[in-house]
Amino acid sequence: MERSNFTSEIPIYEIPGGIHPEEHKTESNQTAISSLPLAKEFVINLKAQAGNRSAPTVELGQSVLKGQVIAKNDGVFSSFQHAPTSGTVTAIEKRPIAHASGLEDLCIVIKSDGRDSWVKLERNEEYKSLSREQILARIFEAGIVGLGGASFPSHIKLQRSEGIETLIINAAECEPYISCDDKLIQENAVEILKGAEIISHLYNKLNIIIGIEDNKPKAIEAIKVAREKLKLDVKIGVVPTKYPSGGEKQLIQLLTGKEVQQGKLPADLGLVMHNAGTCFAIYEAIIDGKPLVDRVVTLTGNACPKKGNYRVPIGTPVKHLIDSVQTQDYQQLIMGGPMMGFEIHSLHAGIVKATNCIIMAAKSELSQPQDVAPCIRCGECMIACPASLLPQQLYWHAKADEFEKAEDYNLFDCIECGACAYVCPSDIPLVQYYRYAKSSIRNNRLEKIKADKARDRHEARLERIERVKREKAEKHRKAAETRRKAAEASGKNDAKKAAVEAALARVQAKKKAQAEQSDLKPKQDEGS
């Protein structure tokens, strides 16, 4: 694949590990971004962002315009959702979602009226007159989340204002097959840089670095032209093509030589990183007043006859996309890249804000489940790991359910990039073991919390019972006492009198008996 000969404008540091899988990018990045016919029905997943599920604000049968809010945030760690086209809300129910689990979740279904008419948009070239809070609120209300893959709500990432010095635009796009950011930069570099300028403005000017792999020469050229035009000070950091250089932590290490310390955030290094696509979305939200209702998606794979990048409304069902490109027999349908994506289980699921690519893989294009051979401890996985973990030890411990030891080996520093499984000569699905171990540990923690709560409840209950018992006994004792006291109070003298009388009676009875006895006795003494 073509490499840029542009020399990086900032020093580039080394990252450990990494792999060089076949790139497969030229298949999809040769044509301009285009559109597909509008789908008839849109399925908008309300839990498509990191954080809380959005809360629907529309009713069944309600007609909506493109860009109209259909669901709003539930708490601050959540996001807004907008109608991707004009039409009618036909269902608010659980539907299969685009997720590795293949599970269902709450979705809003909109039947398109075919007109695709927008709500009234409020353009605002003069964003600089807005306050920080106002801009953040607009970003929030435009439903913008990180478009690189994690779907982390952008307003939260932008919240912290102290100590930030540098904005890194992540344009590395290191996963094979995907070329949506590459194309977006080629065609909209000006808007992306303007978006970056808006972010910079939020912090009263940041240093801006754009990190990009050297396999995108045209995009690099486009950035050069755009910054010239905007007279914007942007440093281009060209990193060697190596997966996973686009991981947030990895790109930071490549561009700054620094590591985000365990438990810390990039912000602790004075950095904030946003994906190129997110910068574009921020530009559209602030300048054009457009909420995030569509994104660029790479449709590719050997079973896709019209490989390329398409601007696709959020919620477009996968089936509509594969039908629109008239795909031939495909063996596998992958959402995302081949390294970190997942297999699509339901064709009726709608694409989400994080959907950057759909691979329609032909037979034997991607690897098929293999017979797993025993681990021969060759250490290839360790060499490939970008986090300098020991994937092999993690594997042994995960396999043996020795979760504590797996944690000792820093299991939670694994970013699940899949480099280890890619190089494993024994075809061991390593990442799957790590996911298993991680979720088991998380479950155990939850269980522990639950168990602790249950124990606390149980102890509280026992204590309550004990207390009630104690209180009852106390009450009884008090009642008895009161009774006794009351009795004493009312008949104090009688009792005494009675006792005296009883005693007297006893004495008299005794005397009487004695007298009777002496009467019966013969008076022998007197007579003898």
Pairing type for strands 166-171 and 207-213 reads parallel
Site for other proteins in 446-485 (CB under 8 A): none
Binding of other proteins by 70 (CB under 8 A): no
Q: Give the C-alpha separation, 22 to 45, whole Å.
A: 32
Distance in Å, CB of 365 to other proteins, minimum: 9
In the stretch 347-376, what mask flags binding to other proteins with x, by CB under 8 A?
A: --------------x----xxxxxxxxxxx
Q: What is the helix, strand, coil percentage profile of the chain, to 5? A: 40, 15, 45
Q: How far is the CB of 35 from other proteins (least distance, A)?
A: 28
CB of 149 to other proteins, least distance (A): 12
User: In this chain, which of 339, 352, 354, 437 binds other proteins, going by CB under 8 A?
Assistant: 339
Report cis status (omega within 30 of 0) of the bond before 217.
no
Interactions with other proteins, residue window 155-194 (CB under 8 A): 176
Tell me the C-alpha distance between 228 and 222, whole Å.
10
Minimal distance in Å, beta carbon 102 to other proteins? 10
Binding-site member from 1, 60, 76, 100 for other proteins (CB under 8 A): 100
For residues 220 and 153, is the Cβ–Cβ distance under 8 A? no
Least separation in angstroms between CB 240 and other proteins: 18
Instruction: Tell me, rounded to whole angstroms, the distance of Cα 391 from its chain centroid.
Output: 24
Angle at 214 between CA 209 and CA 215, to 5 degrees: 130
Lookup: tokens for 132: 């920080």
Given the rule CB under 8 A, which of 54-62, 163-171, 335-343, 461-469 is the region that contacts other proteins? 335-343
Cα–Cα distance, 352 to 295 (Å, whole number): 9
β-sheet bridge partners, residue 42: 110
Among 73-81, 147-155, 341-349, 487-495, the segment contacting other proteins (CB under 8 A) = 341-349
Residues in the chain: 528
What is the nearest approach in angstroms of other proteins to the Cβ of residue 161?
24
Residue 4 makes CB contacts below 8 A (sequence gap 6+) with 214, 215, 216, 217, 220, 238
Which listed residue (47, 138, 227, 249) binds other proteins by CB under 8 A? Answer: 249
Residue number, 87 or 244, with CB nearest to other proteins: 244
CB of 147 to other proteins, least distance (A): 19
Helix axes 180-202, 217-230, angle to 10 degrees: 30
Note whether 439 binds other proteins by CB under 8 A: no
Tell the burial category of 372 from Cβ atoms under 10 Å away from its Cβ (0-12, 13-18, 19+). exposed
Partnered with residue 267 across adjacent β-strands are none
> 């529309």: which residue's tokens?
58
**9 vs 413 by CB, closer to other proteins:** 413
Q: For residues 117 and 370, which CB has a smaller minimum distance to other proteins in the complex?
A: 370
* Positions in 392-431 near other proteins (CB under 8 A): 392-393, 404, 408-410, 413, 416, 418, 421-423, 425-427, 429, 431
CA distances from 457 to 119, 266, 448 (A): 52, 40, 14
Site residues for other proteins, 19-58, by CB under 8 A, read 19, 21-22
| Binding positions for other proteins, rule: CB under 8 A | 16, 19, 21-22, 100, 176, 249, 253, 259-262, 264, 332, 334, 336, 338-343, 361, 366-379, 382-383, 386-390, 392-393, 404, 408-410, 413, 416, 418, 421-423, 425-427, 429, 431-432, 435
